[in-house]
Structure 1
Amino acid sequence: MTQNLPVPVASTGPSTTAGFKMRIDSTSGVHIDEHDYVKHSKSAQGYLLRRLDLPDIVQEFTFEELELLRLEDRLSVTANYHSSTAASGRLNAQGTYFSDLPDARQTKWADRLEIVEDFIKAEAAGRYSRSDNSLRKFVKEWFATKVELAMGRFGKTLDIDSPPGPTTIRTWLNRFEACGHDPASLIDGYGRSGNRDARLQPGAAALMAVWVEKYKSNLKPSMCSLYRDMRADFREKLPGTSVPARNTFERAIKKLDPFHVLAAREGEEVARRKLYAVRDRVDVTRPLQRVEMDEQMIPLQAMLVERGKWDTLPEKLKSGITHDRYWCSKIIDTWSRVVLGFVITPAPSAASALATVRMALQDKTPLAAGLGCESPWHMFGLPELIVTDSGSNFRSKQFRAAILDLGIGIMIAPAGLPQMRGVVERSFRTDTQYFYSRFPGRTFQDVVEKGEYDSESNIVVTIMELAHMMVRYFVDIYHNTPHAGLGGDTPLNRWNTGVERFGVLPPPPPDVMRHIFSTTIQCRIGNRGVRAAGLYYQSKELQNLRRSLGSKFALVRVDTEDLGHVSVRAGKGWLTVPCTTPGFDGISLDHWRETQAELRRSHASVAALSEAIVHKALMDLAQRIETLTDMSKVPSPIMKSEAFVEFDRELSRGFGIVRPEDGEVPQIDDVDTSPVALKDDEVEDIGSYTFPASEDDDDTFTE
Structure 2
Amino acid sequence: MQLAEGTQISLRGKVGSVYRSGPFGCELVWAEHCDVETGEMIAAISGRLSSEEIQRTLRCGSLKIVSLPDHLHVQPPQRAAAVAPRPKELMRAAWRECYVLAAQKMIDAGILQPYRADFVRHFAAISRNGLEEDSRRSSKAGKSKRAGQRIDVRMPPRCGETVWDWWNRVRAFGAGETLDNYRNSGRKGSRFTPEENALMQEVIGLRLTEERCSITSVCESVQARFRIQNNDLTKDDPAAKELTVPGYDAVWNAIAQIAPLDHKIRTRGMDVAYRDLHTLGQGLQVERALQRVELDEYTVDLMVWLRLLKIDHLITPDEKMSLGLTGDPKRVIISAAIDVYTGAIVAMQIAPAGTMNLAVKTIEMIYLDKQSIASAAGTEHEWPMHGHPQTLVLDRASVNMSDEMYLRLAAAGITNFAVPARKPFLKPWVEGFFPTMGSKFLQQFTGRTFGNVVLKGENDPAERATLTLDEFLAWLVRWIVDVHHTSKPATIGRSAPLFGWQRAVAETPPLILNDESRLRKAFGDRSERKVSRKGLQVQGLHYIGPEIADWFLNESERTLEVWWWHRKIGRVEVLLPDGRWVTAHCSDPRWADKSYDDLAMFVAAENAEITRGQDARDRYRVDADERTHELSGLRGMLPLAPSKDDLARRTKEFSRYMLDPSAEPFQARDLFEDEVTPFQDEEDADGGHSSMPAPPVDGSEYGGNME
Larger Rg: 2
What TM-score comes out, normalization by structure 1 length? Answer: 0.41
What TM-score comes out, normalization by structure 2 length? Answer: 0.41
Relative CO higher for 1 or 2, CA cutoff 8 Å, sep ≥ 6?
1
